[in-house]
Amino acid sequence: MLFGLDGVEIGLIIVFVCLFGGILSGFPVAFAIGGAGVISFAIIAALDSAGLLVHQAIDQSSQAYRDLVNSGVPNDAVSVFRYPDLPRIAESVFPKGWEEAMNRNVSFIVNRMNERVLAGQSIETLLAVLMFVLMGITLERSKIANDLLTTMARVFGPLPGGLAVSIVVVGAFLAASTGIVGATVVTMGLLALPTMLRNGYSPELSTGVIAASGTLGQIIPPSIVIVLLGTLAGDLYSAAQEARATSAGCTDALTYLGQPAVVSVGTLFQAALLPGIMLALLYALYAFVYALFNPEKAPAVPMGSTNAEPITRGEGFTWFLGAPILLIVGTIFLGNMGIVGSQSTVVSSFSEISEGASLRTNVGPECQAAMIELHGQEAWDTAVSEQAAIEAAGGQQASEKLSEEALAEKQADKINSAAPIGTGVAIIVILLALVMTTARGVSPSASRRPLIIGGIGLVLTVLIDIMLVGPTTSPGTMVVLMALPFVAVIYGILYGLKLCASNELIRVVFPPLVLIVAVLGSILGGITNPTPAAALGAGGAIMLAAYRKLTDLDRSPKVIIWSTLAIVICILVGVNFDLRINQEDVGFENWAAFFVAYGAYLYAVFGLLFSCWILYTSGVLSPVVRETAKVTSMVFTILIGSQLLNLVVISFGGEHYIQQWLKSFDNELTVFLIVMLVLFILGFVLDFLEIIYIVIPIVGPVIYGGTFDPKWVTIMIAVNLQTSFLTPPFGFALFYLRGVAPASVTTGHIYRGIIPFVLIQVGALALLWMFPAIVTLVPDLIPN
């Protein structure tokens, strides 16, 4: 054995030396990874051919091995780490020769490219990366950060450490709207760092808070890290749980777990919401506490007054807190009382499948014992009782086509159980009411008459929905009945929007906030998956950037405003009318609605094209497209190169060797702690992309093959990977900030300033470890 090491161990060392050497060489990382795979394979193949690499494998023909397997120990559980005394046999790291391994790698790399990059199931999700990158770069070029930094500095500046707190707020806001770490750090470094230094802030706090806040886009949805990691985690979790079920004697993971072994990117977005907010709060809390103990290093800095009208504390509490809480909580209460709810009369023409037992009970003894160990004896006994009751009732009923009488009876029952107030009407009324209450709080001295008229219109809308609109009311009739009160509502809303637009804070925050709510709301609410939502965000970002550009040029942005209204009309018409005109007996109302929606759609497309033209002629669109192409190409090139490197590791048994070492630990908690520590250390020298596509596929089958919640595992990894942007010497956020920092700010200042925030990251991981409900709460509340 060379240097007294196993041949597989030497192979792993060669791979990682080649990888680090390629990265440190200054060659583009996207190509260095693939090159490291080719070079390391050539070196290992040469050493193997020379007989210098010898792998000490367990002799499976020995009597000791056969006795161990016959005693009930699974084959995959036998390793040199768990049973070091078993007889060994010396063999080549390429048992069938390096030529065969190379042929297999070439075949595998082609198949994997087809599955994961070109035409596989994950390609649709990966397209979200392109859309989110386009959305982020467009918003960054629209100078949204400039406005946010200026406005938030005026709001938080007078507080101790207020400028640092404002950086965290803006960082969180940009994370939810752009998610591009480099652009966020550079923008805030250029705009905020000189201001903070000029006002007496310490270089360490200034650089630390800017670098840390810029990385929030890696965890706050929509996060590119979660898109990439979630796509990979879904495959790893499914395969690992299927293997776990098979080793337990069950036919599949659904039988063993009692639920599908799936985890989606949308679910991970839900899981990442609270951890991202928690991190932002911890950053802001640190800045505030630091300012309290070191006031000379983080002084309060009045940045000038805003144009907001002075209001009393009572007015602020009433209109910004009391009224919104009353409206939202009241609606939730009415929903629980059955007053607000669905008024849909749509029923299936087939009967429902009768509910089965909570667990499958027609399994073998080995699987039964494993399921009892996993779920508990009580859960198993309950499932057996449920199955016995189902069989006594004649077995599980299959879905059958209903007769016309049964269908009519089912529809009548649904009509009778419909809520007096429709959910859609309630949501619209609440949103419009919140606009009016906000307008009232922004300008208490303004005339109340238009807002009162609008409020009366909202009340009339609810009363009409209760008394005149029922489940069987046609959409056209409903539009006619709601027309008069909505005229009053529109009158009040237009006046309210005018008041809100006069407030600088609302004018700056509201447009991107609407875009964030539209994108994240559609994903978190389960309305659509990340790719269409990302496309919506990209289109919205283009229109928002065009609106900003037209405003800067003193040109009317009415086309953008009307296009936005056209999109709203499309949504409202599509929700309330049946636009499927290819059916038989399409009524006049649906035909009219179709033409209205189609006209609104065409105008919305015109508005998007007009926005693209404005950005193109102003020199914004071309660099945005080029930068998007560069970033996306880099991601996919790293994906291809990492697949090649992974196949090299697999070919000489490196992946199996690492997995066997991890499985030698009996405690699942210990294994996960080791993996998290390794990821944290690798974050000092590797970017998150390399870690996701090189390291996670190796350790994933082990950490996703246990009892831990896959959502919690993935978010823990994502938070850990966020530190790779902050940890010296290769933290990318530090490089970005160093490139735009003034000469008075040294690299030492940046490194010292980031240490508290890295410790906060570690503390956040500890909190997520102790309180996993922070991750699982939102996914449990929102059904998928």
Across residues 621-635, what is the average pLDDT?
86
Helix (H, G, I), strand (E, B) or coil at 13: helix
| Cα–Cα distance for residue pair 161/300, rounded to 1 Å | 6
pLDDT at 457 over 80: yes
pLDDT at 769 over 90: yes
Q: Chain-wide mean pLDDT for the chain?
A: 83
221 CA to centre of own chain: 4
Q: Report the pLDDT value the prediction gives residue 396, as an integer from 0 to 100.
A: 63
Q: Report the pLDDT value the prediction gives residue 358, as an integer from 0 to 100.
A: 81
Q: Which residue has the tokens 């066997």?
A: 660
Kindly report, residue by residue over 503-542, the tens digit of the pLDDT.
777 877 788 888 888 887 777 776 777 788 888 888 988 9
| Cα–Cα distance for residue pair 754/304, rounded to 1 Å | 30
Which DSSP letter does residue 354 get? P
Q: Which of 298, 320, 313, 314 is nearest to 158 (CA)?
A: 298
Q: How many CB atoms are located within 10 Å of the residue 425 CB?
A: 19
Kindly report, residue by residue over 586-598, the tens digit of the pLDDT.
788 888 889 999 9
Q: Which of 121, 140, 133 is nearest to 225 (CA)?
A: 133
- Residue 341 β-bridge partners: 422
- Quickly state the pLDDT bin for 117 (edges 50, 70, 90): low
Across residues 43-51, what is the average pLDDT?
86
Kindly report, residue by residue over 408-439, the tens digit of the pLDDT.
777 788 778 888 888 888 888 898 899 899 88
Helices (H), 553-703: 558-576, 588-617, 621-651, 654-663, 668-682, 688-690, 696-703
| Cα–Cα distance for residue pair 407/557, rounded to 1 Å | 51
Q: Report the pLDDT value the prediction gives residue 704, as an integer from 0 to 100.
A: 92
* Whether the Cβ atoms of residue 754 and residue 734 lie closer than 8 Å to each other: yes
Judge if pTM exceeds 0.85. Answer: no
The number of C-alpha atoms within 13 Å of 508 and in the hemisphere containing its C-beta is: 22
Which DSSP letter does residue 322 get? I
pLDDT at 76 over 60: yes
pLDDT at 2 over 70: no
Q: Report the pLDDT value the prediction gives residue 112, as an integer from 0 to 100.
A: 61
| Cis omega (within 30 of 0) for bond into 222 | yes
* Whether the Cβ atoms of residue 245 and residue 253 lie closer than 8 Å to each other: yes
539 CA to centre of own chain: 19
pLDDT at 351 over 90: no
Q: Which of 427, 428, 448, 426 is nearest to 437 (CA)?
A: 448
Q: Report the pLDDT value the prediction gives residue 611, as an integer from 0 to 100.
A: 93
Rounded to the nearest 5 percent, the helix, strand and coil shares of the chain are 70, 0, 25
Q: Report the pLDDT value the prediction gives residue 760, as an integer from 0 to 100.
A: 93
Q: How many CB atoms are located within 10 Å of the residue 318 CB?
A: 17
Q: Which residue has the higher pLDDT, 624 or 150?
A: 624
From the number of C-beta atoms within 10 Å of its C-beta (0-12, 13-18, 19+), residue 450 rates as buried
pLDDT at 372 over 80: yes
Q: How many CB atoms are located within 10 Å of the residue 463 CB?
A: 12
- Residue 243 identity: A
Per mean pLDDT, which range of 184-188, 282-286, 564-568, 604-608 is the poorest? 184-188
| Cα–Cα distance for residue pair 522/526, rounded to 1 Å | 6
Name the token pair of 388.
């016995």
| Cα–Cα distance for residue pair 207/550, rounded to 1 Å | 34
- Quickly state the pLDDT bin for 228 (edges 50, 70, 90): confident
| Cα–Cα distance for residue pair 318/326, rounded to 1 Å | 10
| Cα–Cα distance for residue pair 61/44, rounded to 1 Å | 27
Both ends of the chain: CA-CA distance in Å? Answer: 54
CA-CA-CA-CA torsion sign (739, 742, 743, 747): negative
Q: Report the pLDDT value the prediction gives residue 783, as an integer from 0 to 100.
A: 63
Kindly report, residue by residue over 127-183, the tens digit of the pLDDT.
777 888 888 788 777 777 777 777 777 778 788 888 888 888 888 887 777 666 766
Phi, psi of 88 (to 5 degrees): -110, 160
Q: How far is CA 556 from CA 16, 168, 292, 548, 602, in A?
A: 57, 33, 47, 11, 20
Q: Which of 229, 211, 226, 162 is nearest to 760 (CA)?
A: 211
Phi, psi of 421 (to 5 degrees): -115, 125
Q: Which of 241, 258, 261, 246 is nearest to 379 (CA)?
A: 258
* Whether the Cβ atoms of residue 170 and residue 145 lie closer than 8 Å to each other: yes
Query: Strands, E, within 223-378: which ranges?
Result: 340-341
